Amino acid sequence: MKNIFFVTLFLLLLSSCVNEIDLNLTDKSGNIVIEGNITDQPGPYIIRITRSTGMIQNSQYQIVTNAKVIVSDNTSQTETLTYAGDGKYQTTDFKGVAGRTYTLQVEADGKQYSAQSTMPTAVDFEDLKQDSFIPEGRITYKLLPIFKDPPALGNRYLFNIIINNYDKKYKLFSDYVNNGTLNQKAITLPNSGFNAVKVGDVIEVEMQCIDNNIFAYYNTFLKIIENNDVNFDASSSNPSSNITNGGLGYFSAHSVRKRNIIIK
């Protein structure tokens, strides 16, 4: 999986229905940073471990090469991951299944870290529709993900928007509004600067069904980017994390569904 922490200046504005989170940024340089994902797609799954840098050093990181990394679930499936370079530890036979709770255990720099995440059941990503409008004479494109939210309240979604296989954006949805109905929330694509979307651009939209802890993490993560208006590496600050013992980052078990569209 591509490193999801590469984010450009022109990040889409976050629109989510959660309470304000206090952005009390502290310098946590040198802390362990864990970026881990288990999905319902075939592996291998990657857990990346680095050490954090300061906010102004967002392009730098230090990889951790000698950690012990174990993933398990509540059905007794367990695996010790193999180091694959660049701070990445990967699974071999481990399988991600919706409804299971996954546990990550990491031993690094003489400390123990752990995290848990429960994988939600996937929601069908039925289609992706394009629309456009022209505010102030500049054409702007919108994408509407077509999916029906399940009846039970509490579903959370993360959309990764990849433009021309390079520039990545993020959008959070929740079902606090319009629970159990067909989605009506559109994603507005960049319309200015070097990453302005134009006719012929290829857009990949990845829809993740995520748990509450990961929703809270990304909500804080995106607010930090907006408030600082800078390129941002999540290892350089302190979004709300589900990693114990002062670890930064996240561990997410989620479903993945994808749609592609060419802008017309």
Residue 179 belongs to a domain: no
Q: b/e map of 189-211 (b: 16 or more CB within 10 Å)?
A: bbbeeebbbeeebebbbbbbbbb
Residue 92 belongs to a domain: yes
| Tally of structural domains, the chain | 1
Non-local (6+) Cβ contacts of 19 within 8 A are none
3 state SS for 119-185: CCCCCCCCEEEEEEECHHHCCEEEEEEECECCCCCCCEEEEEEEECCCEEEEEEEECCCCCCCECCC
Residue 141 belongs to a domain: no
pLDDT at 167: 76
Residue 238 belongs to a domain: yes
pTM of the model: 0.83
Residue 200 belongs to a domain: no
pLDDT at 227: 67
Task: Kindly compute the dihedral angle of the four CA atoms of residues 119, 38, 94, 34, in this order, to the nearest 10 degrees.
Answer: -130
Residue 57 belongs to a domain: yes
Closest CA to 165 of 126, 195, 139: 195
pLDDT at 10: 29
Do the strands 46-51 and 32-39 form a parallel or antiparallel pair, or are they unpaired?
antiparallel
SS3 209: strand
Residue 77 belongs to a domain: yes
pLDDT at 136: 74
pLDDT at 60: 63
Beta-strand ranges (E) seen in the chain are 32-39, 46-51, 62-63, 68-73, 78-80, 82-83, 88-90, 101-108, 111-118, 127-133, 140-146, 156-163, 167-174, 187-188, 202-210, 248-262
pLDDT at 192: 85
What averages of pLDDT result for each successive group of 10 residues across the chain (264 residues)? 34 33 48 96 98 60 94 98 98 98 97 98 98 87 98 96 90 93 95 90 98 95 71 56 95 98 97
Residue 153 belongs to a domain: no
pLDDT at 238: 63
Task: State the residue range of the domain holding 100.
Answer: 32-120+233-255
CATH no. for residue 46? 2.60.40
